[in-house]
A and B are shown apart, each in its own frame.
Chain A
Amino acid sequence: MFDLISFIPRAVVQGIPLLFGSTGETLTEKSGNLNLGIPGIMYVGAISGVIGAFFYEQSGAASPFLTVAIPLCSSLLGSLLMGLIYCFLTVTLRANQNVSGLALTTFGVGIGNFFGGSLIKLSGADVPSIALSATSARFHQSLPIASGLGWFGKLFLSYGFLAYTAVIIALVAAYILRHTRVGLHLRAVGESPNTADAAGIDVGRYKYAATCIGSMVAGLGGLYYVMDYASGVWSNNAFGDRGWLAIALVIFTIWRPNVGVLASFLFGGLYILHMYIPSGMNLAVKELYKMLPYVVTIIVLVISSMRNKRENQPPASLGLAYFREER
């Protein structure tokens, strides 16, 4: 009755954008920056990739390498710029992080929908969306042996390369955070910038680096969504509230990207659970199922604060700007 073999791959492809977003946000938060601009950044990452791919496809060339490289680079560049705006405001100008992040989200979603809308007009299509099938085919390419391996191939090998990249990035990020000197310094900056500064760590540089790399990773989530999940079809606002869900996932994983790998698939599953639950004619219940990821996050947030274990807390200086002369 409940078809796991078809459910799990769909949960995974739903989870991958969230995994990118939450890995990026975890890196950012570990440096003490609560970047609420992630939803906007993911939009920009997606639309920059779409713009790159659109003009490359229009030019008529079809080199397999460039078809992947151009959207990838333009997406990274777009989200890097967003990260830089955020860093400049919050680190250099020490502005309030919540306000800057929310403004960044407004801006990013605006950019996504505006340029999306303009491209749709440019392409002159009848439907309000752009289809980049050639680029998407490259991104969607899975191993040729996958289809011959039955359920095993379907569960593990049926995804595009970005999906595996997401898992690798998450694991590498987890390793760097826990087992390297750079990670130690980064965590120190997030926990107590004063102490880190006194120990000779360049707080500003770490914040910039972590936030910008974090935004680029998050931007890839947007790119994956458009190119692989949505098969290269951009339509305005289709990305929805996944950015906020990525932030929820950060809390859910208690700031651990390696936990995020499985947790993101779980969230992906919760996100689409409503399509698999036999609810008969009662459409309303489906709306309640969509609430699940958020409710689960709230429960985790509450429980982790109740247990009050020190390693499960948010970084201590999360959300605070650092100014050396203020003690």
Chain B
Amino acid sequence: MNKQRSPLFHIVRRGALPWYATWGIRGGAVLLALLVCGVVTMLVTGEDPFKIYLAIFNGSFGTPRKIWVLLQNISMLLCISLAVTPAFRMRCWNLGGEGQALAGGLASAACMILLANKLPNWAVILCMIVTSLLAGAIWGGIPAFFKAKWNTNETLFTLMMNYVATQLVAYYCVVWESPKGSGQIGVINPNTQIGWFPTIGSYKYLLNVIIVAFVCVGMYLYLRYSKHGYEIAVVGESERTARYVGIKVDRVIIRTMLLSGALCGLTGLLLVGSTNHTLTPNIVEGRGFTAVMVSWLAKFNPIWMVLTSFLLVFLSRGAGEIATNFGLNQSYGDILTGIILFFIIGSEFFINYRIQFRREAGKEG
């Protein structure tokens, strides 16, 4: 007889679950999270839970304008998430989306301010596109270069680059301030509208949505069917394997981070050129960090990212609506978003692992 005590349960790695099961688990986690959020909100405000959920829904779908804002927020978040994804697939944690987008935004604002009245409108816009993509790429390329050459920790490096970019933008906000002494840039070229992206019909945000949709499909094809995408996947799985099959790992790292940075720059371009027509140090609104979660939750799959970015934007807008309706401050939204993220993050465990109890193990043995 085996007298050794075995623990009550132990944890076993699961094989691949079918997609409906994994999304079932995630969906369950979201529902559970919403339940908890409802209960928490009920305790804080004393409102009845049905009203709370209605408020969450209304936050996104209440009026046509809110739907457009929802779409705009989704497309910006999605764009930056798509941008960081190729790096993540390579297990290169690019936490610098924020800074790279700011660099892009700074470049396009610079073009709008400095080139106005010197070049025709179409040339200004062309310059904006080129410089902002380039600025983002440089901002992402610097950490990548050191990562490839000396294996410098890219998580910490890109993180620090965010704040360098923030301060750089803050610097130029004072340099280009208008009116003088305000410390803010204000709307750029409000009368001539030079460098403003054209609006399609009367829909201010439609252009952004269309561009990001193209980027999304393009990224899916790039990662799935191109040689580059394959190389990224191999480097991500095992650098040694990649080296063995003759992939130049450092080149792949730099190339991928350049792409990643350039797409973040595109987000900055869209934010400055097409949406806000101004530049502030917090114009990206922390999306560079939220993007990490969006991308990770979708398991780095561009198509699923549409869903996860919708989810996060929907929830944060809903939480904002709760805050306004029930007289709480806007930070309440952050708390709810945090709770929901904890649940979704925790649910991944049940997708990857299985808990085996002692009795069950005994039977199998």
Contacts and interface: CB of A to CB of B under 8 A. Distances in A.
Nearest to A117: B329
A99 B292 contact: yes
Contact of B164 (A283, A291, A325): A291
Contacts of B348: 93, 95-96
A305 B161 contact: no
Nearest to A295: B164
Interface string B128-164: 0000000000000000001000111101110111011
B150 to A, nearest CB: 5
Interface stretch (A16-24, A158-166, A244-252, A259-267): A244-252
A319 B155 contact: yes
A34 B155 contact: yes
12 contacts: A89-B342, A102-B293, A110-B331, A110-B335, A114-B334, A247-B159, A291-B168, A294-B160, A294-B163, A294-B164, A298-B160, A302-B152
A114 to B, nearest CB: 4
A306 interface: yes
Contact of A297 (B12, B160, B329, B346): B160
A114 B328 contact: yes
A199 B164 CA distance: 43
B332 A298 contact: no
Given A114-B334, A118-B329, A305 B353 contact: no
Contacts of A285: 171
B153 A301 contact: yes
Interface in A310-327: 314, 319, 323, 325-326
A85 interface: yes
B345 interface: yes
B156 to A, nearest CB: 5
B241 interface: no
A67 interface: no
Given A111-B335, A118-B328, 10 more contacts: A89-B345, A95-B346, A106-B334, A106-B338, A108-B338, A113-B334, A114-B334, A241-B163, A288-B171, A301-B156
Given A114-B329, A301-B153, A93 B349 contact: yes
Contacts of B155: 34, 98, 319
Interface in B332-365: 332-335, 337-339, 341-342, 345-346, 348-349, 352-353
A85 B146 contact: no
Contacts of A284: 171-172, 174-175
Nearest to A282: B174
A302 B334 contact: no
B170 interface: yes
Interface in A71-122: 85, 88-89, 93-96, 98-100, 102-114, 117-118
B293 A107 contact: no
A154 interface: no
A3 interface: no
A109 B335 CA distance: 8
Interface of B: 11-13, 93, 95, 146, 150-153, 155-157, 159-161, 163-164, 167-168, 170-175, 183, 286, 289-290, 292-293, 296-297, 328-329, 331-335, 337-339, 341-342, 345-346, 348-349, 352-353
Interface residues of A, number: 54
Interface in A19-70: 34, 36
Contact of B331 (A93, A236, A301): A236
A107 B201 CA distance: 40
B123 to A, nearest CB: 28
A125 to B, nearest CB: 15
Contacts of A99: 292-293, 296-297, 341, 345
A52 B1 CA distance: 57
Contacts of B290: 106
B146 A114 contact: no
A236 B329 CA distance: 11
A305 B167 contact: no
B170 A103 contact: no
Nearest to A285: B171
Contacts of B173: 287
B160 A96 contact: no
B289 to A, nearest CB: 5
A298 B153 contact: no
A241 B339 CA distance: 22
Contacts of A88: 346
A207 to B, nearest CB: 16
A106 B335 CA distance: 7
B335 A107 contact: yes
Ranked nearest first, the 9 interchain pairs of A and B with the lowest CB-CB distance are A107-B338, A110-B334, A113-B331, A284-B174, A117-B329, A103-B341, A93-B349, A291-B167, A305-B152
Which of A88, A107, A325 has the largest number of chain B CB atoms within 10 A? A107
A290 interface: yes
Contacts of B159: 36, 244, 247
Nearest to A98: B93
Nearest to B175: A284
B129 to A, nearest CB: 27
Which of B167, B290, B338 has the largest number of chain A CB atoms within 10 A? B338
A95 B329 CA distance: 30
